[in-house]
């Protein structure tokens, strides 16, 4: 039976293990590391003056995580300068998404958030120009199989990942916020058209409501839940920040979700954030949902440590991977994709590629 999670207790109640309970403190740090939130947890504890309550050894580990997070943030800022310079060759808005956007705008989720690639979106009519400009700047797509090239170029919402030949940094260049083949009718074009200048160089950003909605869609419509708790925490922090600075934000957010086809996604997401973090969403606008999908999501978007992860998490992950494929592709394309995956799995040789299509 899974142990009680010190991490989930801290996230929901702000409670740390007792000073003399070194085992629980070690488990808290291990859980945070497994969930990808060690740096953020360390920064929060340092701000509250609680870092030393973990004990000297763990406090030193967490101080190292803070140093890592601060250096990473500086590296992201430097890389954004390089990307901005490369994209200055095209006359099109360049929208930063997710972690890079949080870092540029210095939003609360940027604190202690580590990520592997920088997500940039340009309108679809400018995607070829943007790719060419980035190639001149030193980025290129790796060698993929013909099928994966087709997957990215014809079906996906992004081109293949572009890696810088010298610095090794990765850009995911998007032209849509969701797969164009997606079964959910999400008005990605409206969200892109509503993007506004960031006030920081060439970069554009999504509207506040759309930033929350995109984060929710990215979390719930994918199947990469090894960082699900971190991403859910992002959404909690975004909601709290925008709600504190914008009158009637909750009403505007739900109205916008309905307009762009993400109402169900938003409701599920905020039910989860409220359960885990106590996100201050008004009860009168948040349905009391507890359907099967929500229960499966709750198991996957949780602690990943082997001592505290909920029972059935592997099964939940598998079910959500199937759900992701179902949401992404209509039946004809889904059958083609699954046939290719089956043929690849049983093939005696593996194709040369950098990042396999999902």
CA dihedral 7, 9, 14, 20 (to 10 degrees): -80
In three-state secondary structure terms, 176 is coil
Q: What is the pLDDT of residues 239-276, one digit of tens each?
A: 999 999 999 999 999 999 999 999 999 999 999 999 99
Residue 357 has pLDDT above 70, yes or no: no
Structure confidence at residue 154 (pLDDT): 84
Starting at the earlier edge strand, list the strands of the sheet with 118-121: 139-141, 162-164, 170-174, 118-121, 94-97, 203-205, 196-197
Average pLDDT, the chain: 91
Alpha helices in the chain (DSSP H): 6-13, 22-35, 38-47, 56-87, 98-105, 127-136, 146-150, 188-193, 208-220, 228-245, 249-260, 263-277, 292-300, 313-328, 331-346
Confidence category of residue 348, pLDDT binned at 50, 70, 90? low
pTM of the model: 0.92
Structure tokens at 165: 């030949």
Contact 174, 97 (CB under 8 A): yes
Q: Which of 85, 88, 23, 90 shows the shortest CA–CA distance to 58?
A: 23
Structure tokens at 43: 């920064």
Q: Pairing between strand 139-141 and 162-164? A: antiparallel
Structure confidence at residue 153 (pLDDT): 87
Q: What is the pLDDT of residues 42-51, one digit of tens each?
A: 999 999 999 9
Contact 10, 16 (CB under 8 A): yes
Structure tokens at 336: 């083609």
Percentage of the chain surpassing pLDDT 70? Answer: 96
Structure confidence at residue 139 (pLDDT): 97
Structure confidence at residue 344 (pLDDT): 74
Structure confidence at residue 354 (pLDDT): 44
Structure confidence at residue 342 (pLDDT): 75
Q: Pairing between strand 196-197 and 203-205? A: antiparallel
Q: What is the pLDDT of residues 165-198, one digit of tens each?
A: 999 999 999 999 999 988 899 999 999 999 999 9
Structure confidence at residue 198 (pLDDT): 96
Structure confidence at residue 353 (pLDDT): 46
In three-state secondary structure terms, 48 is coil
Confidence category of residue 58, pLDDT binned at 50, 70, 90? very high
Q: What is the pLDDT of residues 300-342, one digit of tens each?
A: 999 999 999 999 999 999 999 999 988 888 878 788 777 877 7
Q: What is the pLDDT of residues 232-245, one digit of tens each?
A: 999 999 999 999 99
Structure tokens at 107: 């939003």
Structure confidence at residue 1 (pLDDT): 54
Structure confidence at residue 193 (pLDDT): 96
Q: What is the pLDDT of residues 105-159, one digit of tens each?
A: 999 999 999 998 999 999 999 999 999 999 999 999 988 888 888 888 888 899 9
Q: Which of 12, 63, 44 shows the shortest CA–CA distance to 232?
A: 12
Mean pLDDT of 196-218: 97
Q: Residues near 239 by Cβ (< 8 Å), separated by ≥ 6?
A: 212, 249, 253, 270, 273, 279, 280, 281
Q: What is the pLDDT of residues 6-38, one digit of tens each?
A: 999 999 999 898 877 889 999 999 999 999 999
Structure confidence at residue 150 (pLDDT): 83
Burial class (CB in 10 A: 0-12, 13-18, 19+), 349: exposed
């Amino acid at each position: 039976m899974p142990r009680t999670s010190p991490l989930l207790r801290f996230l929901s109640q702000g409670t740390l293990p007792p000073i003399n309970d070194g085992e629980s403190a070690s488990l808290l740090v291990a859980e945070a590391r497994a969930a990808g939130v060690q740096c953020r947890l360390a920064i929060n504890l340092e701000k509250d003056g609680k870092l030393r309550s973990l004990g000297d050894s763990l406090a030193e580990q967490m101080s190292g995580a803070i140093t890592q997070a601060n250096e990473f943030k500086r590296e992201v800022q430097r890389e954004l300068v390089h990307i901005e310079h490369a994209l200055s060759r095209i006359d099109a808005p360049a929208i930063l998404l997710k972690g890079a956007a949080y870092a540029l705008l210095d939003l609360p989720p940027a604190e202690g958030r580590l990520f592997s690639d920088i997500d940039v979106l340009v309108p679809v009519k400018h995607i070829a120009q943007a790719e060419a400009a980035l190639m001149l700047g030193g980025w290129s797509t790796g060698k993929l199989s013909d099928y994966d090239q087709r997957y990215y170029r014809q079906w996906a919402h992004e081109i293949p990942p572009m890696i810088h030949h010298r610095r090794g940094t990765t850009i995911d260049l998007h032209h849509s916020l969701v797969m164009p083949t997606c079964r959910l009718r999400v008005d990605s074009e409206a969200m892109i058209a509503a993007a506004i200048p960031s006030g920081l160089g060439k970069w554009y950003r999504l509207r506040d409501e759309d930033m929350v909605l995109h984060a929710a869609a990215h979390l719930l419509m994918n199947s990469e839940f090894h960082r699900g708790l971190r991403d859910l925490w992002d959404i909690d922090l975004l909601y709290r920040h925008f709600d504190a600075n914008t009158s009637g934000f909750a009403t505007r957010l739900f109205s916008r979700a309905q307009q762009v086809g993400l109402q169900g996604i938003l409701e599920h997401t905020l039910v989860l954030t409220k359960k885990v973090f106590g996100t201050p969403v008004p009860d009168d606008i948040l349905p009391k949902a507890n359907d099967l999908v929500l229960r499966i999501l709750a198991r996957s978007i949780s602690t990943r440590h082997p001592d505290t992860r909920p029972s059935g998490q592997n099964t939940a992950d598998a079910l959500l991977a199937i759900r992701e494929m179902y949401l992404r592709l209509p039946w004809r394309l889904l059958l083609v994709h699954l046939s290719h995956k089956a043929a690849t799995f049983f093939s005696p040789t593996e194709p040369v590629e950098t990042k396999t299509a999902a």
